[in-house]
Amino acid sequence: MNRDKLFVLISPALVVIILDQLTKQLVRTTPSLQNMDLIPGWLALHYTRNPGMALGMDWFSTPVISVIAIIATIGIFTYILKTMHRANKPYLFCMGLVLGGAFGNIIDRLVMAKIESYGGILDGHVIDFIHFNLTISGYPVFPYIFNVADIAISTAIISLLVFNRRILPEENKEEAIEMESVTPEQEVSNSEIDTDSARDQNL
Tell me, what DSSP letter sits at residue 39? E
Annotated active-site residue 194? The verdict is: no
Specify whether the CB–CB gap between 189 and 107 falls below 8 A: no
**Strands (DSSP E) along 8-110, which ranges?**
35-39, 43-50
Among 128, 194, 196, 200, the active-site one is 128
Among 150, 194, 196, 200, the active-site one is 150
Q: How far apart are CA 1 and CA 9, in angstroms?
A: 12
Nearest CA among 110, 100, 104 for reference residue 77: 100
Annotated active-site residue 150? The verdict is: yes
Q: Is the dihedral of CA 11, 15, 20, 25 positive or negative?
A: positive
The string over 69-78, giving b where at least 16 C-beta atoms fall within 10 Å of a residue's C-beta and e elsewhere, is: bbeebeeebe
Q: How far apart are CA 154 and CA 133, in angstroms?
A: 18
Residues with catalytic function:
128, 150
